[in-house]
Amino acid sequence: MIEIFTTGGTIDKVYFDALSEYQVGPTTLPDLLRENNVHVPHRVTQLMRKDSLELDDADREAIRAAVAASDATQVLVTHGTDTMAVTGRVLQSVAGKTIVMTGAMQPASVRASDAEFNVGFALAAVQTLPPGVYIAMNGMIFDPARTVKDRAGARFVAES
């Protein structure tokens, strides 16, 4: 059983019109998985609905505690991309589990989103990687301890 925790971020953002502010809405992950015919045993738990820039140490501890308390050894966490690596570093204190974090640069609700690809890639990664914490974005696997978001390039890069 793969445990999937959602925390919000761009993947779950909802825009009401071209001029409106966004809101982080209810997770779309169960619909995305169903629409893509995903049959791997999983359960989805929405932990919070926050932009990752709004996450604080208490939120990161709540994510860490939920992952640590899960009976699953394979855990996928959807997360906003701006501070994904920060939370990934906190999750490195959880031993004996394969933890993969992913998100999207565009909301799952928009046609040109990378959400479906990233979630599918992360689902494959969590089933095949050894225990540890990883970021799975845009077809690449990163170590959160040595990764940063390249805002201009809209991608993750390994720190040099």
Each residue's pLDDT tens digit, 101-145: 999 888 777 777 888 899 999 999 999 999 999 999 999 999 999
Give the pLDDT confidence of 54-106 residue by residue, as tens digits: 999 999 999 999 999 999 999 999 999 999 999 999 999 999 999 999 998 88
Spell out the domains of the chain, with CATH numbers in brackets: 2-158 (3.40.50.1170)
Confidence of residue 27 (pLDDT cuts 50, 70, 90): confident
User: For the whole model, what pTM was predicted?
Assistant: 0.91
pLDDT over threshold 80, residue 7: yes
Q: Name 42's bridge partners.
A: 2
From residue 94, how far is each of 53, 64, 79, 89, 97 by CA, in Å?
23, 7, 17, 10, 7
From residue 146, how far is each of 59, 72, 88, 97, 160 by CA, in Å?
22, 26, 10, 19, 8
Element (H, E) at 44: strand 42-50
